[in-house]
Amino acid sequence: MNLREIFTPDEIAKRIQGLGREVSIFYGREKVLGVCVLKGAFVFFADLVRCLDIDMEMDFVRLSSYGDGTASSGEVSVECDLVSDVRDKNVLVVEDIVDTGLSLYYFSRMLRSRGARSVRICALIDKHERRTLPVNVDFCGFRVQKGYLVGYGLDMAQKYRNLPGIYTIDPYEIEAADV
Ligand code: IMP
Label residue 176 by pLDDT band (50, 70, 90).
low
Q: Could you tell me the distance, in angstroms and rounded to a whole number, from the CA of residue 98 to the centre of ligand 1?
A: 6
Which CATH architecture describes the domain 9-146?
A: 3-Layer(aba) Sandwich (3.40)
Please state the rounded mean pLDDT for residues 100-129: 96
Domain ranges of the chain: 9-146
Q: Could you tell me the distance, in angstroms and rounded to a whole number, from the CA of residue 134 to the centre of ligand 1?
A: 16
- The atom of ligand 1 lying closest to the CA of 66 is 8
Residue 167 Cβ inside 6 Å of ligand 1? The answer reads no
**Structure confidence by residue, pLDDT tens digits, 2-60:** 899 999 999 999 999 999 999 999 999 999 999 999 999 999 999 999 999 999 999 99
HEC readout, the chain: CCEEEEECHHHHHHHHHHHHHHHHHHHCCCEEEEEEEECCCHHHHHHHHCCCCCEEEEEEEEEEEECCCCCEEEEEEEEECCCCCCCCCEEEEEEEEECCCHHHHHHHHHHHHCCCCEEEEEEEEECHHHCCCCCCCCEEEEEECCCCEEECCECECCECCCCCCEEEECCCCCCEEEC
Q: Could you tell me the distance, in angstroms and rounded to a whole number, from the CA of residue 38 to the centre of ligand 1?
A: 11
